[in-house]
Amino acid sequence: METPAAERLRLTEIFLSVQGEARAVGWPTVFVRLTGCPLRCQYCDTAYAFHGGEWWEIDTILAEVARHGVRHVCVTGGEPLAQKRCLKLLEALCDAGYEVSLETSGALDIAGVDPRVSRVVDLKTPGSKEMHRNLLSNLPLLTAHDQVKFVICDRADYEWARAMVAEHAIAGRCDVLFSPSQSELAPRDLADWIIADRLPVRFQLQLHKVLWGDTPGK
Ligand code: SF4
């Protein structure tokens, strides 16, 4: 019998790597990369996930995740929440006992995400060219279990992000991550600015890029 469409998701890749970002950085992690994204950030490094992919049943995804034998799972994209059934996948992964994180653009509603999931929510800066997509109604929903991430392209982005953190009191709600946009901003400049301003944010480099560069599936 054919699997009901409600149980399937469009998937670009599933792979085992080291978590390169956010609170779970360094943990061996299975990445489930869903296909599709309604945004077009100018620095996007996963454009290969915009199109294509294959339909996978949720049970098959769970079996593939289990095959890798690690505790951490990251559902990413593209923009994973662009597929409504992503919510069901997240719930199923939590039910199976994994430490689950979700990487999302911040442009879609996070209210329906299982509360056991650690949500890593981007706030798109002016330099991304997608700032108008930020869904600010997500901010009051954030808890200490979540994180907000800014990818900073230049000094103007930094000042914008600094103002957003203060205006929305984000640092009192959850961890705030500032990352330099690769090849656009020298990491040391960003670190120096954060230190000079004593900002209550975490500087981060994408560890997987230090290790493997831009190789897909890493
Ligand atoms: S939201 Fe993420 S996947 Fe989508 S265009 Fe921006 S960086 Fe790329």
Q: Kindly give the distance from the C-alpha atom of residue 77 to the centroid of ligand 1, in angstroms, as a whole number.
A: 8
User: What is the span of the domain harbouring residue 146?
Assistant: 5-212
How much is the pTM?
A: 0.95
Note the pLDDT tens digit of each residue in 123-173. 999 999 999 999 999 999 999 999 999 999 999 999 999 999 999 999 999
For ligand 1, pick from 33, 34, 39, 129 the residue to mutate: most ligand atoms within 8 Å of CB.
39
HSE value, Cβ hemisphere, 13 Å, CA-based, for 24: 27
Peptide bond into 78 cis (omega under 30): yes
- Which residues sit opposite 30 in a β-bridge? 16, 73
Alpha-carbon 42 to chain mean position: 16
Q: How many domains does one find in the chain? A: 1
Note the pLDDT tens digit of each residue in 24-46. 999 999 999 999 999 999 999 99
For ligand 1, pick from 33, 41, 124 the residue to mutate: most ligand atoms within 8 Å of CB.
41
- Which residues sit opposite 16 in a β-bridge? 30
Domain of residue 38, CATH code: 3.20.20.70
* pLDDT-derived band at 6, boundaries 50, 70, 90: low
The answer as to whether 20 is a domain residue is yes
Tell the residue nearest (CA) to atom 6 of ligand 1: 41
The answer as to whether 194 is a domain residue is yes
Cα separation of 170 and 164, whole Å? 8
The answer as to whether 217 is a domain residue is no
The answer as to whether 218 is a domain residue is no
Note the pLDDT tens digit of each residue in 84-106. 999 999 999 999 999 999 999 99
